[in-house]
Amino acid sequence: MKPTILIIEDESGIVDNIVYALKTEGFDTIWCSTGMEGLETVRSKEITLVLLDIGLPDINGFELFKELRKKSDVPVIFLTARSEEIDRVVGLEMGADDYVTKPFSPRELTARVKAVLRRLKQAAAEKEVQVEVKPSRPKDFPFEYDERRNAVYYRGVQVQTSRYEYRILKILIDHPGWVYTREQLMEMAWEEPDMSLARTVDAHIKNLRRKLKDITPDCDPIVTHRGSGYALKEDW
Ligand code: CA
């Protein structure tokens, strides 16, 4: 799906230029000539970014921006005509993503649009990396794995695993206590999951149990949840 740029601007001559430039760069556009229409469109449609004129016939662009922010955090670039407007955009730190001063070239505008979207994408990617931090583990957690070697260590001893055993064990180790069904384990560990073979997961678990028991005969780290699936023991 193409990104959609909403243009809230009452001068059709300006809009024509913007629409042409944005379409050339692969964007879809929606044009609203009043603020109220624009607000409604943000509420009802999937909008990637808003170009917002400040001098609108029905509402001041700043007021509209405040209304918009109550409902949505869509990125906004102000289109400003006068220097006092620029002062307000900058001075009030309204949280807009950028502004462009009229008259502007369509090329300049599309460059700004792309820059804002790129920045947001990077910020989102960085956030995702931060969220992906591994959950904290009990101090005596006995498992470690080395992804470069496809090796799992239990109480410091390497578990001799097959490829799928390694992958299943790693999934369980990543979230002790989380119960995974056979189907989920198959989905996550196999390149081409075949649900009719989900029972083979049981066989791999059985092998893993045996190998882990060889290391600690009186402890079974894999818990079976009857009728639902498998989990790694949570308390260590
Ligand atoms: Ca205007």
Let me know if residue 135 belongs to a domain: no
Q: Is the domain of 65 the same as that of 111?
A: yes
Rounded to the nearest angstrom, the distance between the alpha carbon of 10 and the centre of ligand 1 is 5
95: left (phi over 0), alpha (psi -120 to 50) or beta: left
Rounded to the nearest angstrom, the distance between the alpha carbon of 79 and the centre of ligand 1 is 9
Give pLDDT < 70 ranges for the chain: 84, 87-95, 129-136
Q: Is the domain of 159 the same as that of 120?
A: no
Total domains in the fold of the chain? 2
pLDDT tens sequence across 63-114 = 999 899 888 989 999 998 877 677 666 655 566 788 888 888 999 999 999 9
Rounded to the nearest angstrom, the distance between the alpha carbon of 53 and the centre of ligand 1 is 6
Q: What is the pLDDT of residue 89?
A: 67
Q: What is the pLDDT of residue 19?
A: 96
Q: What is the pLDDT of residue 196?
A: 81
Let me know if residue 92 belongs to a domain: yes
Q: What is the pLDDT of residue 195?
A: 81
pLDDT tens sequence across 11-21 = 999 999 999 99
Q: What is the pLDDT of residue 141?
A: 92
Rounded to the nearest angstrom, the distance between the alpha carbon of 30 and the centre of ligand 1 is 16
Q: Is the domain of 193 the same as that of 107?
A: no
Rounded to the nearest angstrom, the distance between the alpha carbon of 57 and the centre of ligand 1 is 7
Please, are residues 80 and 102 in contact by the beta-carbon 8 Å criterion? Answer: yes
Rounded to the nearest angstrom, the distance between the alpha carbon of 119 and the centre of ligand 1 is 27
| Cα diameter, the chain | 80
Q: What is the mean pLDDT of the chain?
A: 89
Rounded to the nearest angstrom, the distance between the alpha carbon of 83 and the centre of ligand 1 is 14
Q: Is the domain of 9 the same as that of 121?
A: yes
* Two tokens, residue 63: 């007021």
Let me know if residue 109 belongs to a domain: yes
Summary count for the chain: helices (H), strands (E): 8, 10
The H-assigned helical ranges of the chain are 12-24, 35-44, 61-71, 83-91, 106-131, 163-174, 182-189, 199-215
Report CA 69 to chain centroid distance, whole Å.
Answer: 21
Q: Is the domain of 51 the same as that of 157?
A: no
CA distance 39 to 25: 25
Rounded to the nearest angstrom, the distance between the alpha carbon of 11 and the centre of ligand 1 is 6
Per the structure, the complete domain to which residue 56 belongs is given by 4-128
CATH number, domain with residue 53: 3.40.50.2300
Q: What is the pLDDT of residue 130?
A: 66
Backbone angles phi, psi at 174, to 5 degrees: -65, -30
